[in-house]
Amino acid sequence: MAEKTRKQLLIEKRDALNKLIEEETDKEKRTKRQKENKQKFLAGAAVLDEAREKPEYKADLFRLLDRFLTKDYDRAFFVDWGLTPQHKSKIKPAPAGQENAPAPPETENASTAHERETESA
């Protein structure tokens, strides 16, 4: 077997260093993401605590969440607050070969229901 050339040894060292750099970069990204998630969690806990204490703050937060949460999956976490799903389409998909049928009549808007509840309280 022939000995490795100086160039081959340098390439191997470079590749090893590149791997270490990539691992360190991934570790930095992971640490940053964990910090951001912890900040979001703590900020959310503080906001929810404030909303429990002050009904007017809860109403403002409800309106914010109603605008901000656009995915039904996310809105489902606040269904106990009265946040209902937002169906973007008025037409639901029909089985293949059939025409689309209109969606059922819309129910009361969640923010309207919540505002009525807070007014009567």
| 111 contact partners, CB below 8 Å, separation of at least 6 | 62, 63, 66
pLDDT of residue 81: 84
Pair of tokens at residue 70: 């656009």
Rounded distance, CA 77 to CA 90, Å?
A: 23
pLDDT of residue 60: 93
Q: What φ, ψ does residue 91 adopt, rounded to 5°?
A: -115, 130
Instruction: Give tens-digit pLDDT for 6-54.
Output: 999 999 999 999 999 999 999 999 999 999 999 999 999 999 999 999 9
**H or E element that contains 91:** strand 91-92
pLDDT of residue 88: 61
In the chain, domain spans: 11-53, 56-90+108-121
